[in-house]
Structure 1
Amino acid sequence: MSEETHDAAVRGPVAIKTAVLVSGAFGWLLTVSMCFCLTDFEGILKSPTGLPAAQIFLNAGGRTGGTVMWAFAILVQFFTGCSAMLADTRMAYAFARDNALPFSDFLAKVNPYTHTPVNAVWFVVFFSISLNLIAIGSTETALAIFSVTAPALDISYVSVILAHQIYKHKVKFIEGPFTLGRWGTLINYIAVVWRFARNYAICVAAFIAVFAFVWWFVAARGKYTGPQTNDIINEIPSEDNEDDCEEPDDFSV
């Protein structure tokens, strides 16, 4: 989404840093609170609800209080899902626009009425529904799929870090305002080693690498040339231009 953000080189990293700090602080408080409520660990694990977290709420607030707290948890999950759908749709459209996905022409179409990539939205919706339907046949399979989401997210960052370290002497790279300086290379490699040393990381990375490798030689090699952002950047006026375009106030009486 940085393509559509003013001063993305600054505001993008600031947004990421702020999100990490805020969510980390509130996540720590939530974890501490939940730990204080673990009065009966075995009973919570064997909860008739099938949801240990829900049982913690019930133990702490009773039937009414626990239900209210769990309703807020469901609401948070709903909005989290909406945010994830938004991000997934934006990425699907961006990759399709750059001819990096199967059926790119279809997924990259922008609806002339809404001016939004409706096809990409519905693709993400149906794909998400399909993944959730797996739980009907096998809960274990669904849990196995969902358990790799965190490693997959980390790998999306690590792959960029690793590619930068491999090709930084072959491709001209202009550093932005946020840089690690002379410690950058060391910290980058520590991040890569730490990520791939964890569970599931190798399997997820291998699957993504095989899919990308096959698709590259099957179709993308002749079409994908990288992000096509020139048109988008030209359509976004800078804040300076917006200020210049503002009409002066009329102070005449």
Structure 2
Amino acid sequence: MESKKSNSATPLHSIRSNVDVDAIHITSVLSNKGITINVDHVIDDDEAKILALGYKQEFKREFSLFSIFAVSFSVLGLLPSIGSCFGYQQLVVGMSPIPWLIAVLFITSVAYSMAEIASAFPTSAGTPYAVSQLAPPKWSAFLTWMTCYSNWLCQITASPSVNYACACMILALKAYNSTDGYSPSNGEIYGLTLGIQISHAIISSGPTKWLARFNSFSTIVNMLFLVIVFVMILAGNKRSEINEGATKFNSNSIAWSLDNQTAWPMGFAMLQSFLGVIWAMSGYDSPFHLSEECSNAAVAAPKAIVLTATCGGVIGFLFMLAISYTLYDLDEIAADPQGLGQPFVTYLSQIMDKDLVNTATAFTAISGYFMGCSCLFAASRVTYAYSRDGIFPLSNIWKKVNKTTQTPVNAVWINMFLGQLFLLLMFAGDVAIAAIFSVGGIAGFVSFTMPTLLKITVARDFQRGPWSLGRYSTPIGVVSCAFVAVMIPVLCFPYVKGDDLTPDEMNWTVLCYFGPMLLAGIWYFIYGRTFYSGPKCNIDEADIIYDDTGLIDGVEQTEKHQTQIDTKEST
């Protein structure tokens, strides 16, 4: 960034700063074109970088490193995530923490690779922007388009899936305390989820400063409740008193044992059980999408991603250890004799007094509420960023920033509405609604690793940001891409096969993920390719001064652009 003064008696603007894009040392839609951006106010490094990436600074940068870590850790929501995904791990291969230990190593490699990308491209557009700059020119627009839609699917299914699990947890608590055999209906679950979603939309429509404080508070609450429930499981463990003949803790051989409860071989079942870990560990990408709202984004965002993935993996493993050494009867949990609909609550009832079960479940539900709010908040920034590039119908509506709150309120509410449409799957059965969990896993993985794949293949010489993996970048990237390539088809398989495979037991993930992605691809080739060439610069053309050639990518500029060049020469 250079500070210049105009000698012109009649300047086009009241200019106090000029940003020489190529001097920022960043790969963007404006780089390598000899562009200088005029700004009518003094700017800092963060604003210089976002301008060099092609975007105006529209949000206030009121998030710190801790604030964006708070959002991502809240989205991670370990306590409600582990509780909600009990059926995707323990009821697949048993109580052992081995699946978590293995899966989290690969998931962390995905997060670390994405952190390096976030440092190089600190914009709320996230990984699709990186894809647009790393992909071969011939395929850049199409790959960016598909990455946008994949990431968007991940984001808009996160909040409804979390809030669905939260509603189930609340109603399971009611069923647990019921004396008349109450069991929640799908209508009750849907209605409660709708109420939670609406409250989250109201909160997420607030100003950035207020949201930063709210998310910091929710993270502190989530961390506190996670520790309390962890201590309750170990210290409040009374399984030897509740279950005749039981010991207080499982032996090592039992706690670490695997119990294949699927129709597939153990190795494949182990891979299927990774869904619980993948979903529980999702959310580490949130700092990327908050890059335009935090200070020192090129360093703070990747650090927050790394902190979230590392802390989440370690803490989650400790929590899984506590479960494996205290869980009493998997068959009873699977049978759900009380009709609770939540295996985690049944597990707690095997080892705790009623009061502790109520407390632990309540804390889990509250944590789930905060987690769902953070998910909707992060998703709204994604919808805003992609609408800014014009990839959605009615993008002009969803990209608007509310003048009062200075946040994308319209994007918040369209996400809430679409989330409720996804939740209609619950009326098709438990297997159908489970698809929104695996859709989130696949959609996230595809969008997270696409720039990593390009980085280790066709764009090895890209301009890295101030935070990088150094010589470990390529090895970690290879591990990340290989893991995702294996997991995508695995997450599409049902848990049964042969004669046991009925329409009710089918895995709907193929339809729920690849269906929308197919439509997105068709729409691109029919219409999208006529106007979409990648991320769009939203800086006023009058503020952009081109180099003396008058050529950008070999194309002669308009008379307006040439006038700017002439003005630059005269000054």
What interval of TM-score do these two structures reach, taking the shorter chain for normalisation? 0.7 to 0.9
Residues 98 and 224 in structure 1, CA contact (< 8 A), matched pair in contact too: no
Q: How does 1:18-97 map to 2 (within 5 A)?
A: 18-47=307-336, 48=338, 49-97=340-388
- 2:535 equivalent in structure 1: 226
User: 1:138: how far off?
Assistant: 2.7
User: 1:208: how far off?
Assistant: 6.5
User: 1:58: how far off?
Assistant: 1.7
Q: How does 1:114-133 map to 2 (within 5 A)?
A: 114-133=405-424
CA 1:190–1:176: 2 relative to 1, 3 Å:
same
Greater alpha carbon shift after TM alignment, 215-224 vs 122-131: 215-224
CA 1:200–1:211: 2 relative to 1, 3 Å:
farther
**1:134 maps to 2:425:** yes
Residues 439 and 513 in structure 2, CA contact (< 8 A), matched pair in contact too: no
Residues 100 and 224 in structure 1, CA contact (< 8 A), matched pair in contact too: no
* Whole-Å separation in 2 of the counterparts to 1:227 and 1:104: 12
The one-letter code sitting in structure 1 at the alignment partner of 2:405 is T
The one-letter code sitting in structure 2 at the alignment partner of 1:135 is M
The one-letter code sitting in structure 2 at the alignment partner of 1:8 is A
* Whole-Å separation in 2 of the counterparts to 1:167 and 1:205: 27
Residues 327 and 351 in structure 2, CA contact (< 8 A), matched pair in contact too: no
- 1:213 equivalent in structure 2: 521
**1:192 maps to 2:501:** no
Residues 449 and 481 in structure 2, CA contact (< 8 A), matched pair in contact too: yes
User: 1:229: how far off?
Assistant: 6.7
Higher RCO, Cα 8 Å, sep 6+ = 2
* Whole-Å separation in 1 of the counterparts to 2:463 and 2:405: 36
Greater alpha carbon shift after TM alignment, 190-199 vs 135-144: 135-144
Unaligned runs of 5+ in 2: 1-289, 493-508, 541-571
Greater alpha carbon shift after TM alignment, 36-45 vs 158-167: 158-167
Unaligned runs of 5+ in 1: 232-253
Higher gyration radius (CA): 2
Residues 13 and 178 in structure 1, CA contact (< 8 A), matched pair in contact too: yes
* Whole-Å separation in 1 of the counterparts to 2:418 and 2:431: 19
Residues 3 and 229 in structure 1, CA contact (< 8 A), matched pair in contact too: no
User: 1:39: how far off?
Assistant: 1.3
CA 1:3–1:26: 2 relative to 1, 3 Å:
same
User: 1:166: how far off?
Assistant: 4.5
* Whole-Å separation in 2 of the counterparts to 1:7 and 1:205: 35
> Quick one: which of 179, 198, 201 aligns to 2:468?
179
Residues 96 and 108 in structure 1, CA contact (< 8 A), matched pair in contact too: yes
**1:8 maps to 2:297:** yes
> What is the CA deviation profile of residues 90-139 of structure 1, one whole-angstrom value per residue up to 9, with x for unaligned ones?
10011001112222112112223333222111111011112123202433
* Whole-Å separation in 1 of the counterparts to 2:526 and 2:318: 49
User: 1:17: how far off?
Assistant: 1.0
Residues 135 and 142 in structure 1, CA contact (< 8 A), matched pair in contact too: yes
> What is the CA deviation profile of residues 67-102 of structure 1, one whole-angstrom value per residue up to 9, with x for unaligned ones?
110011111111111111011111001100111222
Q: How does 1:138-177 map to 2 (within 5 A)?
A: 138-168=429-459, 173-177=462-466
RMSD: 2.6
Greater alpha carbon shift after TM alignment, 11-20 vs 159-168: 159-168
Residues 328 and 351 in structure 2, CA contact (< 8 A), matched pair in contact too: no
> What is the CA deviation profile of residues 194-228 of structure 1, one whole-angstrom value per residue up to 9, with x for unaligned ones?
11112137958855653443333344331453154
Return the structure number with greater helix share. Answer: 1
* Whole-Å separation in 1 of the counterparts to 2:516 and 2:299: 30
CA 1:186–1:215: 2 relative to 1, 3 Å:
farther
The TM-score with structure 2 as length reference comes to 0.37
User: Partner of 2:385: helix, strand, or coil?
Assistant: helix
* Whole-Å separation in 1 of the counterparts to 2:518 and 2:456: 21
> What is the CA deviation profile of residues 139-182 of structure 1, one whole-angstrom value per residue up to 9, with x for unaligned ones?
3211123223223222221112123344416xx72111222334
User: Partner of 1:122: helix, strand, or coil?
Assistant: helix
The one-letter code sitting in structure 2 at the alignment partner of 1:220 is G
The one-letter code sitting in structure 2 at the alignment partner of 1:29 is L
CA 1:72–1:93: 2 relative to 1, 3 Å:
same
Between the aligned residues of both structures, percent identity stands at 28
The one-letter code sitting in structure 1 at the alignment partner of 2:535 is G
User: Partner of 2:352: helix, strand, or coil?
Assistant: helix
* Whole-Å separation in 2 of the counterparts to 1:100 and 1:167: 25
Residues 101 and 220 in structure 1, CA contact (< 8 A), matched pair in contact too: no
